[in-house]
Structure 1
């Protein structure tokens, strides 16, 4: 079952989010994960949907609002998608992606953007299989303030 995350989900959602961050080579920090997700939900900074199976959370997708000036419409940034290892291959990623696409349609967004690591073999096979296309018309640059 896919549904919108609530503050009551923070405990389990924080554990999944922490696992997601570890996957991307970040240090585990469960308290900070909980605080970060609490702030996103309370401030309505993002949309978080969770996959639930047999009363426990097994995955999530988090989207942030962006805007396209040239299209004069909302865009969604699919920043996080994660399904715990023991529940992969059961269709949860597909359901989470479809929920994200449904939300984009409901909000009249022009699309969903995402990025994933070049070494993320699973993601690099998953996203094109659900209609996402590699965008090679522009160069993406990043400036960080670490």
Structure 2
């Protein structure tokens, strides 16, 4: 299969938003294309994330979204691989690996020390994919979340 990976710009917002909506639905969120589109638009316009798109058959069929972090022991920039999704019709063709490889290259291009990610324990595909892509499981840390209650 022929494909290319490109860095998304605001001109790619509609295609990126459609994939982002499917990604959120995958994680049991209610479909909301317009809200997701506004979210991505803010990230792109404010340079708050970098998005790479997998293009096949002349359309975006997958994406990865990266957020800048800083690593406290390495004292360097690091990227959070926050979102990775490939449309179900294009899975099993190496696009996830290609998006991860592009993210690794982005680390080199931006002088970052590496990538980190988290995924649900129930994400069977992701939990098989990431070790194959040289991610190391971190069993030493507990991750906690605090969510502000809406009033």
TM range (shorter): over 0.9
Aligned to 2:112: 109
Cα distance in structure 1, aligned partners of 2:9 and 2:78: 23
Please report the TM-score for the alignment, with normalisation by the length of structure 1.
0.97
Cα distance in structure 2, aligned partners of 1:84 and 1:52: 11
Structure 1 vs Structure 2 CA RMSD: 0.8
Structure 1 residue ranges (4+ consecutive) displaced by more than 3 angstroms after TM superposition: none
Alignment of 1:63-74 (within 5 A): 63-74=66-77
Aligned to 1:138: 141
Aligned to 1:46: 49
Secondary structure, counterpart of 1:60 in structure 2: strand
Cα distance in structure 2, aligned partners of 1:117 and 1:137: 17
Cα distance in structure 2, aligned partners of 1:104 and 1:91: 20
Unaligned runs of 5+ in 1: none
Please report the TM-score for the alignment, with normalisation by the length of structure 2.
0.94
Aligned to 1:81: 84
Aligned to 2:27: 24
Aligned to 1:60: 63
Unaligned runs of 5+ in 2: none
2:14 is the alignment partner of 1:7: no
2:133 is the alignment partner of 1:119: no
